[in-house]
Amino acid sequence: MARRVVVTGLGVCAPNGVGLPAFTKAMDEGLSGIRFMPQLKALEFACQIAGQPQIPENRLPEYFTPLQLRDMNATGIVYGVLAGKDAWQDAGLSEGQADAPDWDSGIIFGTGTLGVDKFREAILKVDAKNVRRLGSTVVLQTMASGVSAYLGGMLGCGNQVTTNSSACTTGTEGILMAFERIASGQAERMLTGSCSDSGPYVWGGFDAMRILPRNYNDRPEAASRPMSASASGFVPGSGAGAMVLESLESATARGAHIYAEVLGGAVNSGGQRGGGSMTAPNSEAVQRCIQQAVAHAGIGPSDIDTVNGHLTATTKDALEIENWAKALGRSGKHFPLINSFKGAIGHCLAAAGSIECVASVLQFKENKVFGTMNAEDLHPDIEKMVDSNYIPQKTRAHRTEILAKASFGFGDVNACIIFKRY
């Protein structure tokens, strides 16, 4: 019998709020974290707005030693450590003994790219024949597993410590990987999440693809428009989300607060066939992923009362709604409540799934469903499939019982996870 798995800690470093209280307030009140970025204007980007966490400098010594902060130039690691350590503390867990690791605790913390600015700095020094001036942390800050390695050492975790990477599916996939490790009895608790670097070297490729909005540089808060008829592309974002998953036995034994239970989920790929490509989803694969997640969770499609979609504010939003409707066999007034958080935080790339999972789980605690910003002009194809009352534009009271959250990524990869009120 698989063991039950629950969420006992949350942490977040998001464009609209750093730390759980600030983030919860921002999501509740519909506060945007998307801002004009002078650096992008100077570089002549067409899209000169983005979502980037605002971290006070004096807060970093709470998370890093002076030695760790020396030459630290990997924003993804900074975001991941803040979110990860906050989640660990929120779960009521200590950083372990100085002379022995915690064999029952592990980390799966994903990323897309890591330490891009540090990597560029290293390249320039190598080209200038200044190899000896690279410093001792270049490798730590630029290896993909740098974020999990930093967290593993800070928290003293002796179970699996690793990093996953599946484009925009990374965060949700990582939570499912952690869930499976605990359910199978290989760990008691896992810190899981994902992070994404900030800056032009991360966002430039998307600007070159012409998939970012170009007409909102003077109105950044209105730019990210999920499910909207006037959506013109996703706004790039960054940050990190983290949660502590734990066996129910361990959580109850130590009297931990439980945010929600993880019932199960599924991951798959469309194989870049049947309409799927490097950048577009295979609809059959998306539907199968949702249906397999529902089956794995041991529930029926009608049991889901809330959905948090991927819904990036692109032309694919209507197709995603269609896939949800077909997968669940529900439409119109029978469709569950559905929202997207990208109007508030942008598309945080590899961090999207984890930040959005944190927000999704917060809805259980708050007994609310957070609104979808900038969706006042619903896409007509979406209105044909879903009653507009089931797409809340502002936060409203709602007692979520079972929530489905999905993420889809470049490479035609999909993940769907099911959370339940505990």
Query: What digits encode the pLDDT tens for the residues 299-309?
Result: 999 999 999 99
- The whole-angstrom distance between residue 43's C-alpha and the CA centroid of its chain comes to 28
- 59-99 confidence digits (pLDDT tens): 999 999 999 998 888 899 999 999 999 999 999 999 878 88
Residues 221 and 330: beta-carbon distance below 8 Å: no
Domains defined for the chain, CATH in brackets: 5-260 (3.40.47.10), 266-420 (3.40.47.10)
What b/e sequence results for 3-25 when a residue is b if at least 16 CB atoms lie within 10 Å of its CB, and e otherwise? ebbbbbbbbbbbbbbbbbeebbe
Closest CA to 46 of 207, 199, 206: 207
Mean pLDDT of 133-137: 81
Instruction: Report pLDDT for 148.
Output: 97
Please determine, for residue 418, whether its predicted confidence score (pLDDT) is greater than 80.
Answer: yes
Residue 332, Ramachandran bin (φ over 0: left; ψ between -120 and 50: alpha; else beta): left
Instruction: Report pLDDT for 136.
Output: 78
- Using CA atoms, how far residue 355 sits from 80, 280, 313, in Å, is 11, 22, 17
| SS3 of residue 5 by DSSP | strand
Instruction: Report pLDDT for 127.
Output: 87
Please determine, for residue 230, whether its predicted confidence score (pLDDT) is greater than 80.
Answer: yes
Residues 308 and 356: beta-carbon distance below 8 Å: yes
Instruction: Report pLDDT for 193.
Output: 98
Residue bearing tokens 């067409």:
46
Please determine, for residue 269, whether its predicted confidence score (pLDDT) is greater than 80.
Answer: yes
